[in-house]
Amino acid sequence: MKELELKRLLGQTQEIAKSVGAFIRKERQHFDVKNIEHKGFNDLVSYVDKEAERQIVEQLSVIFPEAGFITEEGTNTIRSEVYNWVIDPLDGTTNFVHGLPIFSVSIALMEREEVILGVVYEINLHECFYAIKGGGAFCNETPIKVSPAPDLSASLIATGFPYYNFELIDKYLAALKSLMQSTHGLRRFGSAAVDLAYVAAGRIEGFFEYNLNSYDVAAGSLIVQEAGGKVTDFLGEKDFVFGRQILATNSNIHEEFFLELNRIWSA
């Protein structure tokens, strides 16, 4: 895709994310927990997620009708051979339901197996993080870069706790134990898209999580890379969009972080 066309799509995608974010923010003001549905154990969804996704799909279909969709709520499941939008309409639904102020809209565009555009809009702080392939990373029009921290001992790490698939919980707890003793600390914000955006912005040095979906990480992974960070799966490979596990860092700590995580995960 030509750079000019990609920049046009980026600007329009940001506006879509912000407009849908405004809808979500308004609905939060009078949201009733009676409207919660359960897709599975601890896997929450509401009419807000579904309507937000419907709005996103409808608007993206207008600005780029050639593209297919990978969506969390299944609004549109028709995929294209070349271009596909990857959408999480409300990343952090549990936070939203409980009134905790970290949740986001995440929209990515993939060209075959490569993410070429990513937008993460953190709704509560009105922060729009975005990038296109080869164009650097930004937050609200200001360039962002990953932290210069040199090692794990100088790093703050984010993660996401397992909430329904507990088969690897012992390894996960072992990783937490190790990181508690070797870093500045651990944080659990509740939105993988925001976690990745915060790595890109240099607010945290690393993020890891398993059992994620493509729509959780596609946009944020590109933003991290364009901000100078490094993203792999737990094996050090590139299967982090669809491989259901991700390790994203400021690059400097990646090898050290990877070796420790791999030691625990392969045990």
Give residue-wise pLDDT tens across range 119-173. 999 999 999 999 999 999 999 999 999 999 999 999 999 999 876 678 888 999 9
Q: Please tell me whether residues 19 and 80 are part of one structural domain.
A: yes
Domain identity same for 40 and 22? yes
d(C-alpha 221, C-alpha 227), whole Å: 10
Q: Are residues 82 and 176 in the same domain?
A: no
Average pLDDT over residues 197-202: 98
3-class SS of residue 45: strand
pLDDT at res. 125 = 96
The binding site consists of 72, 88, 90-91, 216
Token pair, residue 148, equals: 């210069």
How far is it, in rounded angstroms, from Cα 66 to Cα 85?
A: 10
For residue 38, the model assigns a pLDDT of 62
Annotated binding site for Mg(2+): 72, 88, 90-91, 216
Phi, psi (deg, nearest 5) at residue 126: 55, 40
The answer to whether 67 and 83 have CB atoms below 8 angstroms apart is: yes
Q: Give me the pLDDT at residue 42, please.
A: 45
Domain boundary among 143, 165, 199: 143
Q: Number of folded domains in the chain?
A: 2
Pair 64, 9: CB distance under 8 Å: yes
User: Whole-angstrom Cα distance, residue 222 to residue 8?
Assistant: 18
Residues 185 and 135 in one domain: no
pTM listed for this prediction: 0.95
- 175 HSE (CA, 13 A, CB side): 29
Token pair listed for 56: 């996103």
Domain limits at 121?
Answer: 3-143
Together in a domain, 105 and 17: yes
Tell me the average pLDDT of the chain: 93
The pLDDT of residue 265 is 87
Q: What is the pLDDT of residues 230-265, one digit of tens each?
A: 999 999 999 999 999 999 999 999 999 999 999 998
**pLDDT over threshold 90, residue 212:** yes
Q: What is the CATH number of the domain that holds 197?
A: 3.40.190.80
- pLDDT exceeds cutoff 70 at 43: no
> Could you tell me the two tokens for 185?
């600390």
What is the per-residue pLDDT for 40? 53
pLDDT at 39 over 70: no
Q: Residue type at 210?
A: Y
Is the domain of 7 the same as that of 93? yes
Instruction: Yes or no: say if 35 and 51 are a contact pair by the CB < 8 Å rule.
Output: no
Contact yes or no for 184/155 (Cβ under 8 A): yes
pLDDT, tens digit (0-9, with 9 covering 90-100), for 71-130: 988 889 899 999 999 999 999 999 998 999 999 999 999 999 999 999 999 999 999 999
Last residue of a domain, one of 143, 172, 196: 143
DSSP bridge partners of 127: 122
116/184 same-domain check: no
